[in-house]
Chains A and B, each alone.
Chain A
Amino acid sequence: MSLRPQVIQLYKNLLYLGREYPMGYEYFREKLKRSFLKNKDATDPEQIKMMIGRGEFVIKEIEALYMLRKYRTLKRRYYDNEYGNRAGKDTQ
């Protein structure tokens, strides 16, 4: 059962990421819990490893989502056009 701590850690890491989820923490937590519970009876180590891998892929995807969201918001706020309008906001 050496994979158990890994699965728990994965769950914790995902929960932490969910705190900033655009549709809310509750939505994320429920979905996360459901997807983990769905596979609670899995016993094959190979299969569990594969599922952990999938979880880690999801982590990367969420990180990328947050990064892009922040980048786009800042770009919209501070850079109206391709160049210029560097410091000010809404100066037309």
Chain B
Amino acid sequence: MSLKVLVGCKRVIDYAVKIRVRPDKLGVVTDGIKHSMNPFDEIAIEEAVRLKEKNIVKEVIAVSCGPTQAQETIRTALAMGADRGIHVEVPAKEMEKLEPLHVSKILAKLAEKEQAELVIVGKQAIDDDTNATAQMTAGILNWPQATFASKIEKKDDFLEVIREIDGGLETIKVKLPAVVSADLRLNEPRYATLPNIMKAKKKKIEKMKPADLGVDTTPHFEVIEVTDPPAREAGIKVEDVDTLLLKLKEVGRI
């Protein structure tokens, strides 16, 4: 098989870290905070690697857009089994303003350049939760898309994808080349162990800038304010059942 897969992996604040809003209210504190690969992208990488292990795919290329440290994210992807990496360097300052549309354009350009026939990304990143990159990449490339995949199977010249939709599952066929976005239940990603991370250091990471791909990263949005979610209000204790019913009626619960 000669299928090449491009997998997007974003470096985000680790899922276990408590997020703090910056004093200027235009973003969140990222300095000195633990980052790791977006969990949904881990699922995407795992799926690509599994397709490779089934000999359906020939090469898995991990792509990440971000500051220098995004290389660590690519290393993790390489340790999980990707063959090589592409680091599209975006300085930390500009990274805040990098939008899904820009990333989609970068991914689309890279897919054309590398002649990839399949692009797999996580359905959304756990930092901005935009859930748009896969869809827009498919749009730009004019390829079919299979979003929220919970099962992928290769049949002849198409993929059969089971999608997670509201209230159930949907099975669709997509012709290759295609864009797939991974949902939580697609697989259980393997852990990037220390020996594998060491071995991954031998794999190549190509470096480039968005401008090298002809992608303009001028922001279209301006962040006006970032705020914490409202704190949960304290509950109250009631004397007896009657007061309880009264209180519940007051707040319109019964």
Contacts and interface: CB of A to CB of B under 8 A. Distances in A.
A27 interface: no
A13 B193 contact: yes
Contacts, number: 47
A50 interface: no
Interface string B150-191: 000000000000001111100000000000000010001111
B166 A71 contact: no
Contact of A16 (B166, B184, B194): B194
25 contacts: A12-B194, A13-B195, A16-B194, A17-B193, A17-B194, A59-B193, A63-B190, A63-B191, A66-B191, A67-B189, A67-B191, A69-B16, A70-B39, A71-B188, A74-B15, A75-B184, A83-B166, A83-B167, A83-B168, A84-B166, A86-B164, A86-B165, A86-B166, A87-B124, A89-B129
Interface string B184-208: 1000111101110000000000000
A90 to B, nearest CB: 7
B15 A73 contact: yes
Given A59-B193, A67-B188, A78-B184, 11 more contacts: A12-B194, A13-B193, A16-B194, A63-B193, A67-B189, A70-B39, A77-B126, A86-B164, A86-B165, A87-B124, A89-B129
Nearest to B168: A83
> Which 8 A-B residue pairs are closest in the complex by CB-CB distance?
A16-B194, A63-B191, A84-B166, A13-B194, A87-B131, A83-B167, A67-B188, A74-B39
B229 interface: yes
Contacts of A71: 184, 188
B15 A70 contact: yes
Interface in B64-80: none
B234 to A, nearest CB: 18
Contacts of A69: 16
Contacts of B166: 83-84, 86
A12 B126 CA distance: 30
A71 B189 CA distance: 10
A16 B126 CA distance: 24
A85 to B, nearest CB: 8
A23 to B, nearest CB: 13
A66 B124 CA distance: 21
Interface in B128-151: 129, 131, 148
Contacts of B229: 90
